[in-house]
């Protein structure tokens, strides 16, 4: 089984609903794999329909998701349904499908204590990235990666990209960048198609190479958030300022001023 750098170094926030067996932390230099790297790391990529769950032991989290394979995008799947450990059916009130136009970040549940998604609506069609585990298969388990996203239509952008990335990783290494560049240009040329532009942007991210370490990305996001809050505060303060300038026709008032109620002011009388 492939190993991932899940060691106690930077402990990420744990959701109260996460199973103790699913809680994770990552080393300081951990990088979330790019989508292309994720495709290359997977032993098997399968498009499958979630059909139910099966209890596998006495512990509440001894449960496996039942998946009916529809198509193998990479590798081969055994006959019959797949049983994926430590994944379960989502209760209807908590069920959440993947955003079909999000191509960079994982399902929001990956931000919980498990660092990967583990609940799925029954009946959903999902693209699972799997690794071999003895005689079976299990989720690839790369923290915060797009290893299990809903794909509800045959032409979904994520499915189309993964099919293409599977072709890229199957090609000789010397040909890969040319393949990526050509496909990026093809989508970018569809200037009036917003989905094509999203797909071109994702291919560009793969060509840019590995993601930066997770802690650097988080620091940058926090910095951008702080800057945005500071800018919003400055804009609010500026809106309270009044600038008076004198023009040819006398005094003119520019800007806006927030006025509170005047204490003791009489209410206007209603004329009959």
Which domain CATH number covers 103? 2.40.50
What is the rounded average pLDDT of the residues 53-79? Answer: 92
Domain ranges, residue 149: 10-153
State residue 92's pLDDT score: 92
**What's the rounded Cα separation, in Å, for the pair 140 and 161?**
18
Residue 261, CA atoms < 13 Å, CB-side half-sphere? 5
Count of residues for the chain?
272
Tokens 């991932």 correspond to: 4
What is the rounded average pLDDT of the residues 197-214? Answer: 96
Q: Residue 249: left if φ>0, alpha if ψ -120 to 50, beta else—which one?
A: alpha
Grade residue 18 by pLDDT with cuts at 50, 70 and 90. very low
What is the rounded average pLDDT of the residues 54-72? Answer: 92
Residue at 260 is within a domain:
no
Check pLDDT > 50 for residue 11. Answer: no
For the chain, percent of residues with pLDDT exceeding 70: 78
Grade residue 262 by pLDDT with cuts at 50, 70 and 90. low
Lowest mean pLDDT among 21-25, 179-183, 229-233: 21-25
Residue at 195 is within a domain:
no
Of 209 and 253, more confident: 209
Q: How many domains does the chain have?
A: 1
**What's the rounded Cα separation, in Å, for the pair 117 and 170?**
27
Q: Residue 33: left if φ>0, alpha if ψ -120 to 50, beta else—which one?
A: beta
Residue at 187 is within a domain:
no
Residue at 161 is within a domain:
no
Beta carbons of 253 and 244 less than 8 angstroms apart: yes
Residue at 17 is within a domain:
yes
Beta carbons of 188 and 197 less than 8 angstroms apart: yes
pTM: predicted TM-score of the whole model, two decimal places: 0.74
Grade residue 246 by pLDDT with cuts at 50, 70 and 90. low
Beta carbons of 62 and 53 less than 8 angstroms apart: no
Residue at 200 is within a domain:
no
Q: What is the pLDDT of residues 218-244, one digit of tens each?
A: 666 677 777 788 888 888 888 766 555
What is the rounded average pLDDT of the residues 74-97? Answer: 93
Residue at 205 is within a domain:
no
> Terminal CA-to-CA distance of the chain, rounded, Å?
86
Give me the DSSP letters along the chain.
-------SSEEPP--TTS-GGG--EE-TT--PPPHHHHHHH-SEEEEEEEEEEEE-SSSTT-EEEEEEEEEEEES---SS-EEEET-EEPPGGG--PPPTT--SSPPGGGGSTTSS--EE-TT-EEEEEEEEETTEEEE---TTS-SEEE--STT-HHHHHHHHHHHHHHS-HHHHHHHHHHHHHHHHT-TT-HHHHHHHHHHHHHHH-SPPPHHHHHHHHHHHHHHHHHHHHHHHHHHT-EEEEEETTEEEEEE-----PPTTPPPPPPP-
For CA atoms 161, 166, 167, 169, the dihedral sign is: positive
Residue at 183 is within a domain:
no
Q: What is the pLDDT of residues 104-141, one digit of tens each?
A: 999 999 988 789 999 999 999 999 999 999 889 999 98
């Amino acid at each position: 089984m492939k190993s991932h750098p899940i060691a106690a170094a930077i402990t990420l926030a744990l959701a109260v609903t996460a199973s103790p067996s699913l809680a994770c932390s990552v080393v300081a230099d951990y990088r979330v794999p790019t989508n292309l790297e994720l495709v290359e790391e997977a032993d098997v990529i399968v498009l499958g329909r979630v059909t139910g769950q099966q209890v596998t032991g006495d512990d509440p989290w001894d449960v496996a998701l039942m998946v009916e394979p529809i198509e193998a995008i990479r590798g081969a799947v055994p006959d019959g349904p797949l049983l994926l450990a430590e994944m379960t059916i989502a209760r209807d009130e908590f069920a959440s499908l993947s955003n079909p136009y999000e191509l960079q970040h994982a399902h929001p549940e990956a931000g919980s204590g498990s660092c990967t998604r583990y609940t799925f609506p029954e009946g959903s069609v999902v693209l699972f990235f799997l690794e071999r585990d003895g005689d079976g298969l299990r989720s690839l388990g790369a923290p915060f990666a797009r290893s299990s996203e809903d794909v509800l239509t045959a032409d979904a952008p994520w499915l189309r990209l993964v099919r293409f990335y599977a072709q890229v990783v199957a090609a000789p290494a010397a040909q890969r960048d040319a393949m990526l560049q050509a496909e990026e240009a093809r989508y970018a040329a569809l200037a009036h198609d917003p989905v094509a532009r999203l797909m071109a942007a994702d291919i560009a991210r793969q060509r840019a190479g590995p993601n930066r370490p997770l802690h650097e990305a988080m620091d940058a996001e926090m910095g951008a958030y702080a800057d945005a809050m500071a800018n919003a505060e400055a804009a609010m303060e500026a809106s309270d300022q009044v600038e008076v300038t004198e023009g040819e026709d006398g005094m003119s008032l520019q800007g806006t001023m927030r006025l509170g109620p005047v204490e003791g002011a009489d209410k206007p009388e209603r004329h009959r």
